[in-house]
Amino acid sequence: MQRFQPILMVMTILSWLMLPAAALAQQAATPTEAGETLQIVAFGDSLSAGYGVGPGESFPEQLQAALREAGHDVSVANAGVSGDTTSGGLARLEWSVPQEADLVIVELGANDALRGISPEITERNLDQILAKLEARDQAALLAGMMAPPNMGPDYAAEFDGIYQRLADKYDVAFYPFFLDGVAAEPALNQDDGMHPNPEGVAVIVERILPAVTKALDAISAERETG
């Protein structure tokens, strides 16, 4: 699995940290009648929000299109906020993730690592997010992140293990690295070297699709037997 290149990180970290916390983006689609369409929420930072890409090119929109093309009756809502950290995500969970959501893709932590936030704090925040979703009886798919090399091996060792531990603790669907196949690939990223371009988003969707499909199948099976 590729990791961020140190030189690239040094050149781009300041621009990342200067990203303003934006208002929640519009939902990628509106579900039809209740119970007819499985509702997915992409709950994350600028990688979910669609920073720098056009209409129809964000992660939630491309994921929805791919799932529908595969025959899934779904709606994917965009609950991404540029510049968000796990602390910000925890603070807004109650009002940015509707109770009706069937599956929540949790994609947070990149900004924590880039800002050097203690992995202990990141893990505690993600733990509380997953606990709240569990209490609301909402399925989750945890998308992992990796610490940039310039943070050092000790920090990376603490940070990188967070996601697997929490996925095991809460027995949720898990995708190890959200930017797998895209990080440090110039052709798949915008000029800032950090945010995927539309082609990069397409790669993310292609790679995460099996994990999302498996989670949806589990939800559907539980409904049929429940």
- Residue 135 maps to which CATH number? 3.40.50.1110
Q: Which of 45, 46, 58, 82 is catalytic?
A: 46
Q: Which of 96, 180, 192, 220 is catalytic?
A: 192
Q: Is residue 45 part of a domain?
A: yes
User: Which residues form the domain of 153?
Assistant: 6-17+38-225
Q: Which of 58, 84, 102, 195 is catalytic?
A: 195
pLDDT for res 226: 63
- Say if residues 136 and 103 touch (Cβ distance below 8 Å): no
- Taking 70 as the threshold, does the pLDDT of residue 202 lie above it? yes
- How far CA 194 is from CA of 100, 191, 216, in Å, comes to 32, 8, 29
Q: For the chain, how many structural domains are there in total?
A: 1
pLDDT for res 12: 45
pTM of the model: 0.85
> Which residues, in sequence order, are CB contacts of 195 under 8 Å at separation 6+?
46, 47, 51, 52, 189
Q: Is residue 58 part of a domain?
A: yes
pLDDT for res 33: 38
| 180 noted as active-site residue | no
Q: Is residue 164 part of a domain?
A: yes
pLDDT for res 21: 41
Q: Is residue 62 part of a domain?
A: yes
What sign results for the dihedral spanned by CA atoms 126, 127, 128, 131?
positive
| 87 noted as active-site residue | no
Structure tokens at 78: 């965009």
Supply the mean pLDDT for the chain.
89
| 46 noted as active-site residue | yes
Q: Is residue 29 part of a domain?
A: no
